[in-house]
Structure 1
Amino acid sequence: MLKIVSADFVKGATKASQYPGEGLPEFAFFGRSNVGKSSLINMLVNRKTLVKTGSRPGMTRVINFFRINQTFMLADLPGYGYAQRSAKENEDFDRMLAEYASNRSDLRTLFFLMDLRRVPGETEKNTIEYFERLGLEVVIVGTKADKLSNNEIAKSVRAIAAYCNRTPDMVPVSSADKKTGRDVILRMIEDRCRS
């Protein structure tokens, strides 16, 4: 099992010329504003405050890069769907994301986080298809599992999987509060670091 011994913030970036040139396997976390990306990363690396979590959605405006164990990188991408962004901010956001996803050769996997309490829609489906057209592996992770019963989780996972053309076993569930899903996601990262 992958043991986290070090986790360091490297830098925030808004364009390719600012990305860190570590040459390490990289794993990005993406999803709707307030889906729990920062909390999930903190849970994975066993730190409470490595990634700043905001009480308000839409806090992350840059791509934040973290070096883990000196062997791989995690990238925390800004959340989408934040209503209080202007049209110009949304345009800049889309451009930043497209540049990152299409130019980052070290990027192995994009973990696409979805709140298990929400029904995915066209935005989610189109975004996944966009990333996959770029040749990226997209792993859907259901978040906030602690807010639902086991039956509700199973039902939600089946719905997300069916809508996003997956099987339920391909959608790990997580809860940052209860550390649910930590081992599964770290094992995925470890396997992809080796391949």
Structure 2
Amino acid sequence: MKIVSADFIKGAVKPEAYPSVNLPEFAFFGRSNAGKSSLINMIVNRKSLVKTGSRPGMTRQINFFTINKQFVLADLPGYGYAQRSAEENRAFDRMLTDYASLRQELKSVFFLMDMRRIPGEAESNTVEYFEKLGIEVIIVGTKADKIGKNDIVNVRKKWGEFFRRTPDLIIPTSASKNTGRDELLKRITERL
């Protein structure tokens, strides 16, 4: 798929503020600083469509982008940011729950993890939550350029076992090296 247009629609926290575009939607979710915004920029081949920050926890709302006027990408705030207050964490949980349970257009969640991290209970619970809602979860390893080729093979195998998937379903990516872009676009195209 060739990306010819990518436009910011709006940011929203509450369901009543979500954009009403009747297009298939794909969400990007993962820990703070997993590289969600950078990966979206790579997919659309634009350096600054999505604002990125050097500090984790920069995205505080769901940001919606229309791509080729065919589908929407949703950049969700990252989880696990230690400097959020208990009240902010509750608001974050509510925002995510509302989005996942109410967004009819949502086709798939690309669940991003830094390939140097070991998945744990939070990751398992997240995948299980989306799948219980009937939402396809695509596991994406980010920052693949930070580890060796053999390590990528090993991580895919371990993550495959952990998430009960075949290793070839785990997509290794690197926003800085443009790795995995075609595979991500292929997965989106399959759901259009």
**TM, length-normalised to structure 2:** 0.99
In the alignment, which residue of structure 2 is the partner of 1:114? Answer: 113
Is 1:3 the counterpart of 2:2 in the alignment? Answer: yes
Match of 2:102 in 1: 103
Report how far residue 161 of structure 1 moved: 1.2
Deviation at 1:167, TM superposition (A): 0.9
Q: 1:165, CA displacement in angstroms? A: 1.0
- Partner in structure 1 of residue 66 of structure 2: 67
State the match for 1:39 in structure 2. Answer: 38
Amino acid at match of 2:102: N
Give the ranges of 4+ consecutive aligned residues of structure 1 lying more than 3 Å apart after TM superposition: none
Offset, 1:191: 1.2
Post-superposition shift, 1:75? Answer: 0.1
Q: Distance in 2 between matches of 1:130 and 1:189?
A: 21
- Aligned match of 1:126: 125
Q: Deviations over 1:76-98 (max 9, x none)?
A: 00000000000000000000000
Equivalent pairs counted in the alignment come to 192
Unaligned runs of 5+ in 1: none
**Cα deviation 1:25-63 (Å, max 9, x = unaligned):** 000000000000000000000000000001100000000
Q: Secondary structure at the match of 2:191?
A: helix
Supply the AA of the counterpart residue of 2:189: E
2 CA distance for matches of 1:9 and 1:70?
A: 11
Instruction: Note the C-alpha offset of 1:160.
Output: 1.1
Unaligned 5+ residue runs, structure 2? none
Q: What's the counterpart of residue 167 of structure 2?
A: 168
Tell me the amino acid that sits aligned with residue 87 of structure 1: A
CA distance in 2, matches of 1:84, 1:170: 33
Find the counterpart in structure 1 of residue 136 from structure 2.
137
CA shift for structure 1 position 157: 1.1
2:79 partner SS: coil
